[in-house]
């Protein structure tokens, strides 16, 4: 079956590219992907598979492929939402929806998985088990789509789960993996500081919220340098400090927003505890009132070591000219809500190199000039195909 599957994928490489280009031209934002979801559903129309739509808190789709023999159940996931970015690639198939762009490769994820799923459906009689194809909405915006799909119970029968992400850091042919904690968890906070406004000439008659906010900005950085184990990863970014006023007026109120990244659940807890402690200290030191909103967006992504080793072995044994290098990647600080699947289901999320041809310094994901080498799509499809075949012992 393995050779059959690979031959089928190679024969449909151009179809993958055309699907990717259609999706790239017609991006939709998280939780608003109605047309994209319908496009995916139309692709499976008339095919003998079980299809669930509107799974979770949005437009999630699950396609269940029941094999011809009993066995384990696995999940294969691809996300399909886009970002609120004005595209600057100049591609002939650039976004038709101004201010919305597939700048993270989700168009490619969806394209490869649609074709792989269709090929697996055609070969299902040879599969000793069940494969659930998860077309997921809303990866980019918390709470995301993954957690709601897990909470729906639609994946309760899955034994293992797999997914990939296109990354431009390596050229086509590179496939990367990492065992254990692999991508950062993410939290968000908003801090409102209420002081007392006044005239710039009379600070003694006011209570400057900007000074209190500035102290908070510098203080929270000591959490990373003085509260975390030096061998643990943590990042605190103050991305917004809204203190706009006028030059001779002491500001009575400021609002700050921040992004926090961490690689373990323990580090997550330490950072939250310390942020809350510093907020209490700011209130006491400056005599201001603080209102803190602190939410955990996505957990750290943990690749099961045993499953990851099986993925690595399947890829190394592929002996396929499209898969040139199987390499261990370092831990990465971006976050992905695939982590929610991995909290419940042992699995592996790995990476497909996609540097555009002729580009030495590619734009990273979420950049308005982000692009991929479309040859990465066949690498993605084959890589996941080899993992499926290896999992079920199909030669």
Residue 126 carries which DSSP code?
G
Residue entry with tokens 């955990």: 296
Consult the annotation and say whether 119 binds a ligand: no
Consult the annotation and say whether 28 binds a ligand: no
| C-alpha torsion sign, points 36, 38, 44, 49 | positive
Mode of pairing for the β-strands spanning 249-250 and 198-199: antiparallel
Active site residues: 81, 139
Residue 90, classed as helix, strand or coil, is coil
- In degrees and rounded to multiples of 5, residue 336 shows phi and psi of -150, 135
**46 CB burial (10 A radius; 0-12, 13-18, 19+):** exposed
Consult the annotation and say whether 366 binds a ligand: yes
Nearest Cα to 243, choosing from 272, 279, 293, 208? 208
Q: How far apart are the C-alpha atoms of 8 and 126, rounded to whole Å?
A: 15
Q: How far apart are the C-alpha atoms of 100 and 39, rounded to whole Å?
A: 18
Consult the annotation and say whether 104 binds a ligand: yes
Q: Is the peptide bond before 140 cis (omega within 30 degrees of 0)?
A: no
Q: What angle do CA 119, 123, 129 make, to 5 degrees?
A: 110
Nearest Cα to 67, choosing from 126, 117, 5? 126
Q: How far apart are the C-alpha atoms of 97 and 138, rounded to whole Å?
A: 17
Residue 56 near residue 134, CB atoms below 8 Å: no
Mode of pairing for the β-strands spanning 174-177 and 325-328: parallel
Binding residues: 104, 106, 140, 165, 366
Binding residues for Mn(2+): 104, 106, 140, 165, 366
């Amino acid at each position: 079956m393995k050779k059959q599957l690979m031959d089928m994928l190679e024969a449909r490489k151009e179809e993958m590219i055309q699907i990717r280009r259609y999706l790239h031209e017609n991006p939709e934002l998280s939780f608003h992907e109605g047309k994209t979801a319908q496009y995916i559903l139309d692709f499976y129309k008339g095919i003998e598979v079980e299809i669930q739509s509107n799974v979770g808190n949005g437009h999630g789709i699950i396609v269940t492929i029941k094999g011809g023999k009993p066995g384990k159940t696995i999940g294969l996931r691809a996300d399909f939402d886009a970002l609120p970015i004005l595209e600057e690639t100049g591609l002939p198939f650039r976004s038709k929806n101004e201010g919305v762009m597939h700048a993270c490769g989700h168009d490619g994820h969806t394209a490869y998985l649609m074709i792989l799923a269709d090929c697996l459906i055609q070969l299902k009689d040879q599969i000793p088990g069940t494969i659930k194809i998860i077309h997921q909405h809303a990866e980019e915006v918390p709470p995301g789509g993954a957690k709601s799909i897990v909470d729906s119970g639609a994946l309760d029968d899955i034994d293992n789960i797999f997914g990939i992400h296109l990354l431009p850091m390596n050229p086509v042919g590179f496939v990367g993996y990492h065992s254990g904690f692999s991508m950062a968890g993410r939290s968000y906070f908003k801090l409102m500081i209420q002081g007392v406004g006044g005239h710039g000439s009379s600070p003694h008659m006011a209570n400057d919220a900007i000074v209190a906010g500035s102290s908070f900005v510098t203080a929270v950085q000591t959490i990373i340098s003085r509260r975390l184990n030096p061998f643990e990863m943590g990042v605190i970014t103050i991305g917004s400090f809204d203190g706009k006023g006028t030059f001779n007026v002491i500001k009575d109120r400021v609002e700050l927003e921040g992004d926090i990244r961490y690689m373990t659940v323990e580090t997550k807890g330490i950072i939250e505890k310390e942020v809350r402690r510093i907020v209490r200290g700011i209130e006491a030191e400056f005599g201001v009132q603080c209102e803190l909103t602190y939410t955990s967006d996505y957990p750290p992504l943990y690749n099961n070591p045993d499953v990851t080793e099986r993925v690595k072995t399947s890829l190394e044994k592929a002996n396929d000219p499209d898969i040139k290098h199987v390499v261990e990647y370092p831990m990465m600080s971006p976050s992905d809500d695939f982590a929610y699947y991995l909290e419940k289901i042992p699995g592996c999320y790995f990476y497909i190199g996609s540097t555009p041809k002729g580009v030495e310094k590619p734009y990273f994901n979420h950049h308005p000039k982000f692009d991929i080498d479309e040859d990465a799509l066949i690498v993605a499809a084959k890589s996941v195909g080899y993992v499926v075949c290896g999992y079920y012992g199909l030669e």
